[in-house]
A and B are shown apart, each in its own frame.
Chain A
Amino acid sequence: EAQVTQNPRYLITVTGKKLTVTCSQNMNHEYMSWYRQDPGLGLRQIYYSMNVEVTDKGDVPEGYKVSRKEKRNFPLILESPSPNQTSLYFCASSYRLGISNEQFFGPGTRLTVL
């Protein structure tokens, strides 16, 4: 089954404790990205990757890191989480960026930073 998987689905952590949220897709997609969803602010892009070893900042990259060493994986790293990073996070992928290429979304990771 074609899908985007994220782990963990729920995470409660404390300020300053490094964490990684994994994202994997099995569709051989080139484009992958991370979003955060906050009430009243909608969906905002954190980082995106056009292909392996090619990453770039989205609208809200501060406090986050990403890497794209393999085509299928795109982990999101919070080196020193803070309470303002409490949010619902989505990973997404598409074949490539361009005409008619829809985004496929993971189920989401709800992160709480105390």
Chain B
Amino acid sequence: GDSVTQMEGPVTLSEEAFLTINCTYTATGYPSLFWYVQYPGEGLQLLLKATKADDKGSNKGFEATYRKETTSFHLEKGSVQVSDSAVYFCAPSPMDTGRRALTFGSGTRLQVQP
């Protein structure tokens, strides 16, 4: 079945530091790839996505590139803010509409200090 490996947290950074959260996956075929963010006390919400190889998803200063050759979708941001403190989840989503369960990464907690 599908699986996702995310770097373990917590990741603690100072404001304006560079962020990378690694994500690698195994999946059948070539799934769409998603990053979700969970702010304290809230549900998950979509941060960005990429639907095919070499696509770059971006939102709120975050970016991730779909690397088919390394089956990776690492999340990056050039300058983090305190408001980026949250838990980040990587998730592949299968291409087909057959019966499929979904797999999420274990989540990486980011703490940004002023």
Residues of A within 8 A of B (CB): 4, 33, 35, 40-45, 48, 50, 56-59, 90, 92, 96-103, 105-108
**B contact residues around A4 at 8 Å (CB):** 43
B89, B96, B107 — most chain A CB neighbours (10 Å) = B107
A-facing residues in B87-114 (Cβ within 8 Å): 89, 91, 93-107
- Contact A102 B101, beta carbon cutoff 8 Å: no
Could you mark each residue 15-45 of chain B with 1 if its beta carbon is under 8 Å from any beta carbon of chain A, else 0? 0000000000000000010101000001111
A59 to B100 Cα, complex, angstroms = 11
Knowing A97-B94, A102-B49 touch, does A45 contact B101 (C-beta < 8 A)? yes
- Contact B43 A107, beta carbon cutoff 8 Å: yes
11 additional contacts (CB under 8 A) given A42-B107, A103-B34? A41-B106, A43-B89, A48-B102, A98-B93, A99-B32, A99-B51, A99-B93, A99-B95, A100-B32, A103-B36, A106-B43
- Contact A102 B46, beta carbon cutoff 8 Å: yes
21 sampled A-B residue pairs with Cβ under 8 A = A33-B101, A33-B102, A43-B44, A43-B104, A43-B107, A45-B101, A45-B102, A56-B101, A58-B102, A59-B101, A90-B43, A92-B44, A97-B94, A97-B98, A98-B95, A101-B93, A103-B93, A105-B36, A105-B45, A107-B43, A108-B42
Cβ distance B47 to chain A, nearest Cβ, rounded Å: 10
Could you mark each residue 72-97 of chain B with 1 if its beta carbon is under 8 Å from any beta carbon of chain A, else 0? 00000000000000000101011111
A103 to B103 Cα, complex, angstroms = 12
Cβ distance A25 to chain B, nearest Cβ, rounded Å: 12
**B contact residues around A40 at 8 Å (CB):** 106
- Contact A102 B34, beta carbon cutoff 8 Å: yes
**A contact residues around B46 at 8 Å (CB):** 102-103
A-B complex: 5 closest residue pairs judged by Cβ atoms: A42-B106, A105-B43, A43-B104, A105-B44, A102-B46
Cβ distance A26 to chain B, nearest Cβ, rounded Å: 15
A106 to B43 Cα, complex, angstroms = 6
A42, A90, A100 — most chain B CB neighbours (10 Å) = A42
